[in-house]
Copies of this chain bind each other. A is one copy, B any other.
Amino acid sequence: MNKYYEEHTLNDTRETFGRTICEADIIFHAGHTGDFFPHHLDKEFCKKQPFKKRIAHGTMTFSIGIGLSATSINEHAMTYGYDKLRFPKPVFIGDTIRTHIEITKKTDYAKNDKFGLVVETCKVLNQHDEVVLYCEHILLVEKKHDEL
């Protein structure tokens, strides 16, 4: 699955498996991050909030949404960062999410001409095809001619 910068094609897309978000996931994530805010963990409190129900942590939707895409390793690429991480809709217990990925940008990497930057626009979608998370995943990818 190893792909050089040159082998990444603009507008290529892929989509991950889906995963149903459970109460247990929220308990897990609260427990791992220490964020026990009642918006995520207190059913009674949430009844009085705009969404009426417990909502997933944004950091969890991000971690699972990105994790879903971690199925094959590209040894020529590494994560440079993420831009414009947004949460347009909440994720509720019982929602099923999947991640849609599109290559939306390729640019040179100013600091080192052996690498280029590839931007994968990630949209995490729920079962109603609504975007619940948007971000731009920037990858630092080795260039092929490098090896000459």
Interface residues of A (CB under 8 A from B): 17-20, 22-25, 27-38, 41-45, 54, 57-60, 62-64, 66-68, 70-73, 79-87, 94, 96, 127
CA distance A44 to B95 in the complex (A): 9
Residue from B19, B59, B64 within 8 A of A62 (CB atoms): B59
Question: Are A70 and B35 in contact, with the CB atoms below 8 A?
Answer: yes
Q: Sorted from nearest, which 7 A-B pairs have the closest CB atoms?
A: A33-B67, A31-B31, A24-B24, A35-B70, A59-B63, A81-B86, A18-B42
Given contacts A25-B27, A28-B27, contact A20 B43 (CB under 8 A): yes
Task: Find out whether the CB atom of A32 lies under 8 angstroms from the CB atom of B29.
Answer: yes
Given the known inter-chain contacts A44-B18, A96-B42, please indicate yes or no for A29 contacting B63, CB distance below 8 A: yes
11 contacts between A and B (CB under 8 A): A17-B41, A18-B45, A22-B24, A24-B27, A24-B28, A35-B66, A37-B70, A59-B63, A63-B63, A81-B85, A83-B83
